[in-house]
Amino acid sequence: MTLFSDDMRRNPFPVYEQMRKASPLFYEPQTGLWMVFDYESVKWALTDHETFSSRNGPDWIVFTDPPRHTKLRALISKAFTPKSVANLEPRIRELSRGLLDAAIPHGQMDLVADFATPLPIMVIAEMLGIPPEDRTTFRRWNDVFVRMSYTIGRRDEQAKRAHADFVAATPEMSEYLGEILSRRRSQPQDDLLTRLSSAEVDGERLTHADILNFFQALLLAGSETTTHLLTNAILCFIEHPHELARVRQDPPLLPSAIEEVLRFRTPLQWMYRITRRDVELHGQTIPAGKMILPIIGSANRDEKIFPDADRFDVTRTPNPHIAFGNGIHFCMGAPLARLESRVALTELLERAKDFRLANDQPWEPREGLHVHGPSRLPIRFDVKSR
């Protein structure tokens, strides 16, 4: 089975279906990975942290287990509140409009480069409180991180370069954060960095290293995933014009359509876990200490949970997809991703009438294997006057 050809990555779903039927737990000898395909097992692996550990690499919250995870999550939650996210709505609208103002008059754009990539990075910079003059540096760090994430598990020249850039960027970020945090402590602002530096639970605070780790995790967790939610939504709408027509006719359907995009073309196709003990699953034993891949993109197409799972249905109810994970690691940015996609897609649908693919080439998948979505999506549209 090759999970990694372009064709497969554009449409992995038929293979996922075969796997769920024939071998919902699959050992891949070349990589030594155990892949899990069915909804119940994927959800179990994501949720049961006593059996499946998240410890894997840097000290980022997503790669920690309790008790460290419990402490970090409580502290970060104090700063990254639902209210602070909701307050971003007008700014997200303004940023979306700014990007569309630049692109729309041309009657065409690359949705990835011109809209879906810059927007989430600008929103995170805004939320953190990165001053406008530092945004270019912030964008560069984002590139370094995304390129590094593409090369995990590889040892070729490109991977070495990406890793060296990542190693070089870390002290740079640390110094930058040190300066900005000390400014925030003397002059607090209404931003996430100020709140992270003052958050306190049971007399404990986040250290400089904790804030640096979270800053780095946000650069990765919050940008590329949201880029793919936006591009995959447009891809789904182009592929299913009847469903788009329903949303256009009844705009309050958009949030439910976004949930369906998350299920149907899940941006983050899988996560990692390490078994803490021997685990019995589907009649096989996964030994302790092995890496497993719970394939979220497959779980979200499991017919046992989602009737007519290969149908894109903007009114699907219930829709218990696990695109944001489940349990203690449930995505902290889910409210932001939902808000951002609702605002950005509302603006896009309003401004770009009759959008369609600009060419009939099959879209090229993004380089990172764990993400699902196009690396470019040229679209054309008729320009609607506002």
* Beta-strand runs (E) in the chain: 25-28, 33-36, 52-53, 108-110, 200-201, 204-205, 273-275, 279-281, 284-286, 291-294, 352-357, 378-383
The secondary element (H helix, E strand) that includes residue 146 is: helix 135-150
In angstroms, what is the minimal distance from the CB of 294 to ligand HEM? 8
CB 73 to ligand HEM: min, Å: 5
Nearest-CA neighbor of 326 among 296, 305, 301? 296
Q: Which residue in the set 222, 297, 368, 374 belongs to the binding site for ligand HEM (CB under 6 A)?
A: 222
Shortest distance in whole angstroms from residue 100 CB to ligand HEM? 20
Contact in structure between 243 and 237 (CB atoms under 8 Å): yes
Q: Which residue is nearest to ligand HEM (CB)?
A: 333
Residue 267 sits in the site that holds ligand HEM (CB under 6 A):
yes
Contact flag: residue 49 with ligand HEM (CB under 6 A): no
Q: Does 230 bind ligand HEM (CB under 6 A)?
A: no
Q: Give the number of residues in contact with ligand HEM, rule: CB under 6 A.
A: 25
HSE, side-chain direction, 13 A CA sphere, residue 205:
8
Q: Which stretch binds ligand HEM (CB under 6 A): 134-142, 222-230, 280-288, 367-375?
A: 222-230
List the one residue from 35, 218, 235, 377 that touches ligand HEM (CB under 6 A).
Answer: 218
Residue 271 binds to ligand HEM (criterion: CB under 6 A): yes
Q: Is 332 in the site for ligand HEM (CB under 6 A)?
A: yes
Determine if 54 is a binding residue for ligand HEM (CB under 6 A). Answer: yes
Nearest to 65 by CA among 51, 76, 44, 81: 51
1 CB-contact burial (10 Å; exposed 0-12 / middle 13-18 / buried 19+):
exposed
Taking CB under 6 A as the rule, does residue 293 contact ligand HEM? Answer: no
| Least separation in angstroms between CB 323 and ligand HEM | 5
* Contact flag: residue 193 with ligand HEM (CB under 6 A): no
352 binds ligand HEM (CB under 6 A): no
Quick one: 84 exposed, middle or buried, by C-beta within 10 A (0-12, 13-18, 19+)?
middle
To the nearest whole angstrom, how small is the minimum distance from the Cβ of residue 43 to ligand HEM? 10
Residue 78 phi/psi, 5-degree rounding, is -65, -30
Amino acid at 201: V
Is residue 29 reached through a cis peptide bond, with omega within 30 degrees of 0 on the bond before it?
no
354: left (phi over 0), alpha (psi -120 to 50) or beta: left
Query: Which amino acid is located at 70 in the chain?
Result: T
Residue 104 or 125: the one with the smaller Cβ distance to ligand HEM is 125
Going residue by residue from 74 to 113, which x/- string records binding to ligand HEM, judged by CB under 6 A?
----------------------------------------
Q: Which amino acid is at 279?
A: V
Q: Give yes or no for residue 323 binding ligand HEM (CB under 6 A).
A: yes
- Interacting stretch for ligand HEM, rule CB under 6 A, among 130-138, 149-157, 325-333, 353-361? 325-333
Computed over its alpha carbons, how large is the radius of gyration of the chain?
21
> Is the sign of the CA dihedral 123, 126, 127, 131 positive or negative?
positive
Tell me, residue by residue from 60 to 79, as one string, x for binding to ligand HEM by CB under 6 A and - for no binding.
-xx----------x------
Q: Under the criterion CB under 6 A, does residue 297 sit at the interface with ligand HEM?
A: no
Minimum distance of ligand HEM from residue 257's CB (angstroms): 14
List of residues contacting ligand HEM (CB under 6 A): 46, 54, 61-62, 73, 124, 217-218, 221-222, 225-226, 229, 267-268, 271, 323-325, 329, 331-333, 336-337
